[in-house]
Amino acid sequence: MAIQRWDPFAGLSTLERDLDRMWSRVLVPTPRESRAEMTVFAPTTDVLTRGDDMVVRVELPGVAEKDIDVSITDDILTITGKREHETETKEKGGYLVRESFHGSFERSMSLPAGVDPATIVATHHDGVLEIVVPKAAAMHERRTRHIELTPDERKELKGT
């Protein structure tokens, strides 16, 4: 019987190959679906301040105004909508790669307590949804109050 030198890293290449094979099966789309259909669409959202107002900007290129819904429930701002699938004709040719998303989406975020939903204004222009929440930035500021420590008036009981 021959003595073989032990290599602690010998099994790693096999493990790496097995993991690569497993992930390729999970992540590769079937012929009926594209990679864009496998992912979840979450539109890019910026939240900024303009004076005392909070402004929420959501990038929604290709989403029609009629397909966007903005609502508030219990200080939660929710934006839902859908991007319709573009119809294509044979004359235009086929896609080689398609990464654009179509389908439904939803984004939710907390608003400061006390926001009056009747004052919120939403506009949609050039693929950007802008929601202005008046005076919400001022409400959102952290208010910290430091509490002074006072000496403990209790006396320690000493064992007798």
Q: Which domain holds residue 125?
A: 35-86+97-140
For residue 20, tell me if it sits in a domain. no
For residue 136, tell me if it sits in a domain. yes
Residue 87: C-alpha distances to residues 84, 90, 159 (Å): 9, 10, 87
For residue 104, tell me if it sits in a domain. yes
User: What pLDDT shows up at residue 77?
Assistant: 92
φ/ψ region of 52 (left if φ > 0, alpha if ψ in -120 to 50, else beta) reads alpha
For residue 132, tell me if it sits in a domain. yes
Domain count of the chain?
Answer: 1
Question: What pLDDT digit, counting tens, does each position of 108-117 carry?
Answer: 988 888 888 9
Q: Contact, 99 vs 124, CB < 8 A?
A: no
**Residue-by-residue pLDDT tens, the chain, 160 positions:** 567 677 676 666 677 777 777 766 665 555 545 444 445 677 889 999 898 899 999 999 888 899 999 999 888 899 999 887 665 555 566 767 766 777 888 899 888 888 889 999 999 999 999 999 998 877 766 667 788 888 877 655 555 5
User: What pLDDT shows up at residue 74?
Assistant: 87
- The CATH number for 124's domain is 2.60.40.790
For residue 120, tell me if it sits in a domain. yes
For residue 29, tell me if it sits in a domain. no
For residue 151, tell me if it sits in a domain. no
Question: What pLDDT digit, counting tens, does each position of 82-93 carry?
Answer: 887 665 555 566
Strand arrangement of the beta sheet that strand 121-125 belongs to: 45-50, 53-59, 128-133, 121-125
